[in-house]
Chain A
Amino acid sequence: MEDKNLESILDAYKNKSDETWLMNVMNLNMACIESLQKEKAKSKLNSLAVFKKIVIVGGLLYAFLLGFLVYFDHFRHFYFSFSMSMILLITMIAIITLVKHVVMIRQINYSTNITDTQRKLSALQYSTINIFRISWLQMPFWSTWFWTSRWIHSGINFWVTAFPITLLLTLIAIWLYKKISFENKEKKWFKFLMNSPEWNSVAKAKEFVDEIDAFKNDSL
């Protein structure tokens, strides 16, 4: 195909006009723009923020339950209160991170340039992975809440059963916290842990960020 042939197709495309379906939408909106505003919550583009908000509400209920347990125990059972406090602290860090994300999503301005806006949106989406990493850190505390001083000092039983399990869970939690990243996305353990539709959209968001960076930097 010669260059001029492609140019003539491009010219024909530029002049093509078939806007009948659009006219219906435009007329509808002329009459109903206020009601469109009221439907803001239904906007498909808000679904990322909506998902995060649902997780925040769930997380707050969970944190409230943990806080309730700690408050009524008054550290009478030290290991129980300490474990629940640590789980509560990690949960609150995750919730605060999510709240920050929702605020940032709301602040995204669609009238800024395409690459910057899309990069911010996708980066917020893939930062969900950080919440997941943080959440693993609470795992060892689920194996310490039933410890008692009497059990610890009563002989070898505690040191050959409970303690090694907690130690193992601590090592696994730290390892996962360090290793859960996009660099390891092809590893089997990673695919096993992240096998969900939510993860797929996070992975695609990361790929899109890489694509945007390549798009911006490629001028050779």
Chain B
Amino acid sequence: MSPQPDKEEFLKLIQDNKRIIYKICNAYCHNSNDREDLAQEIIYQLWKSAGSFNDGHKFTTWMYRVALNTAISFYRKENKNNPLVSISEHHTNIEDRNDGAKDIEENINLLQQFINELKELDRALMILYLDEKSCGEIAEILGITETNVATKISRIKEKLKQKFLTINNQ
């Protein structure tokens, strides 16, 4: 059995990197209840796996691995039949903003939706890319080659661009 780390120290590390949990929950869950359930599941799995953390690796690399594995498993079990948040729903959320902020907010929401529509592994790749992880680190987290990472990122970006184009032309 792996030794458990100091509770306070561990929770502080999680707190310092909570944006990772936030981003992953947003990408793999479509409603707030599921997001909270997944966040709890991730924290539980992080605690359970704490003994496997090796000081030789970056904490965020380890955290991403545990959190993404948890999210993908959770998504495959729980969220398959949940509908994605519709574009019209995003529109209603941003009605009160001024035009400039509204455009930005709308684009961010669309991007979130397009990311949520990607396959599980492509979604994980995009979360890591948007967190400005290097190709090497993304490759280490996902278990693929750096060349593969670069190829896939450019393909996904092209796909996103096409989706924005389609929406703008409607």
The B interface is mostly helix, strand or loop, or mixed, namely helix
Say if the beta carbon of A204 comes within 8 Å of chain B: yes
Q: Are the CB atoms of A110 and B14 closer together than 8 Å? A: no
Chain B residue contacts of A161, Cβ below 8 A: none
Which parts of B136-159 form the interface with A (CB within 8 Å)? 140-145, 147-148, 151-152, 157
Q: Which of A9, A47, A211 contacts B121 (CB 8 A)?
A: A211
Residues of B within 8 A of A16 (CB): 108
Contact assessment for A45 and B77 in the assembled complex, using a CB-CB cutoff below 8 Å = yes
Chain B, interface size: which category? 35 or more
Residue A26 lies at the interface, judged by CB distance under 8 Å to chain B = yes
Asked if A215 is at the interface (CB within 8 A of a chain B CB), the reply is yes
A208 at the B interface (CB under 8 A): yes
Contacts of B39 in A (CB 8 A): 22, 25-26
Which A1-52 residues sit within 8 Å CB-CB of chain B?
1, 3, 5-6, 9-10, 12-14, 16-19, 21-22, 24-26, 28-30, 33, 36-37, 39-40, 43-45, 47
**Top 5 A-B residue pairs of the complex, sorted by shortest distance between their CB atoms:** A113-B143, A219-B148, A115-B143, A25-B39, A111-B52
Can you list 24 A-B contacts with CB-CB less than 8 angstroms, sorted by A residue number? A1-B161, A1-B165, A14-B132, A19-B18, A33-B7, A36-B47, A43-B41, A43-B44, A47-B77, A110-B45, A110-B66, A111-B49, A111-B62, A111-B69, A114-B121, A114-B141, A118-B69, A118-B72, A208-B76, A211-B121, A215-B121, A215-B152, A218-B148, A219-B148
